[in-house]
Amino acid sequence: MGISEETAGKGDITFPKGFVWGTATASYQIEGAAHEDGRGPSIWDTFSRTPGKVVGGHTGDVACDHYHRYRDDVAMMADLGMQAYRFSIAWPRIQPDGSGPVNPRGLDFYERLVDELRGHGITPIVTLYHWDLPQALEDRGGWTSRETAERFAEYAAIVHGRLGDRVETWTTLNEPWCSSFLGYGAGIHAPGRTEPGAAFAAVHHLLLGHGLATAELRAAGAKQVGITLNLAPISGNDPLAVAHIDGLQNRIFLDPVLRKEYPADVVERARRFTDWSFVRDGDLDLIGAPIDLLGVNYYSPTTVELRAGQPANPVHPGSEGIAFVQGDEERTAMGWSVVPSALTDLLVRLSRDYPGTPLIITENGAAFDDVLVDGRVADERRIAFLDGHFRAAHAAIEAGADLRGYLVWSLMDNFEWAEGYGKRFGLVHVDYASQNRVPKDSALWYREVVRRNGIRS
């Protein structure tokens, strides 16, 4: 398959000078070494060992063995021309119980990784939390507890204390929507709880953790601090249905972080599940402290319609009577619609509704059923996907969006959470038995995009 109809026939495009190109990963998905050098258990260690929770019974015990192979992986990134690498710190490596004594061997690993990246001219972008909460904190309530937010701020200060002289850009949280609604509401991600009220409490304490950590990072002199949200344009045939889902997917995070308030319509609908007593005076001032960068993770849009008798979608509490519908667009191996133009819409909407905050695409990519044949992965569909989305991002810039960079998900195939190892998002193919890495055709194509700072027709 070649370039999609949406991008076919379009000419060369060039991105602004200084635009940052790179890639991204997450600790539990690639590191392995789950029981080495003092690392404690996380909620994903527990969840992946719970029968029926992860496809194939897979765990992240070994994953891509990045913990031992990071030097080769960084050299590979450099060969592919990556300018920036977004990775996450495993909190259980730093504080095995989520609080108390620091594990120096955990900090040592990330210091070695950062130094290796800098030695190859690759800018490190640190995410402090990408879902691997220490199990000991979950045992005390996890993100439904205010204590977890307070411990997160302490952990952020510890990590900055070791890496702050070499890392300029810090992201507090990755996709708190997934942590809260998938983890505490729908139970399909760790910790696997199915309590809508707990999901809303988790939303608040995740955001409070962001605010408290931001204050710690600022006090320590961090140059750029932000948060990464997974956002999606919502469309449909009924404005109330669209507003309901947009509130639960987007505004419940955007409004506190960028406006110091929860959207009133979301709060009202959520009162059937919670009384919001976990919100204290001063919390929203902390949550809404200015950020330097908003990370945008975009994969697919959402379309909804009113449908009498439709049960609630468990990942969107209170969504009875709203159906999630699919069109005839191309779909990835995850079943997600491929609609590049929706990325333009999303970026323009963010710039219009929340002006003044620079944007970076911290994740965008696609899983396809890649096959290694004679040492090559000819993933034309991924190339077409990325081509279309890069052009969509450029269109948003031309429309006024302050977009500073683009990080492709993911550097390499890895543990895809509840999907185990069956879904491949990587620019680089990984043979999990041998740990052999092979850059796919998309990686070689992307190298040329980075080199040119643009796309050739």
Active-site residue set: 175, 363
Show the tokens assigned to 300: 């697919």
Q: How far is the C-alpha of 28 from the C-alpha of 181, rounded, in Å?
A: 20
**Residue among 419, 317, 333, 314 nearest 53 (CA):** 419
Q: Is the peptide bond before 410 cis (omega within 30 degrees of 0)?
A: yes
CA 422 to chain centre: 19
Query: Cβ-count burial of 451 within 10 angstroms (0-12 exposed, 13-18 middle, 19+ buried)?
Result: exposed
Q: How far is the C-alpha of 55 from the C-alpha of 34, rounded, in Å?
A: 19
Q: How far is the C-alpha of 455 from the C-alpha of 457, rounded, in Å?
A: 6
Q: Which residues pair with 323 in a beta bridge?
A: 305
Q: How far is the C-alpha of 300 from the C-alpha of 249, rounded, in Å?
A: 12
Q: Which residues pair with 304 in a beta bridge?
A: 236, 324
Show the tokens assigned to 4: 């999609």
What angle is formed at CA 121 by the lines to CA 159 and CA 104, rounded to 5 degrees?
Answer: 25
Q: How far is the C-alpha of 331 from the C-alpha of 329, rounded, in Å?
A: 6
Which of helix, strand or coil describes residue 360? strand
CA 443 to chain centre: 20
Q: Which amino acid is at 6?
A: E
**Residue among 280, 369, 288, 372 nearest 332 (CA):** 369
**Residue among 408, 415, 360, 366 nearest 55 (CA):** 415
Distances (CA, A) of 149 to 104, 176, 214, 331: 22, 13, 12, 37
DSSP annotation of 37 reads T
Element containing residue 431 per DSSP (H, E): strand 428-431
Helices (H), 168-251: 176-177, 196-219, 239-246
**Residue among 170, 156, 164 nearest 102 (CA):** 156
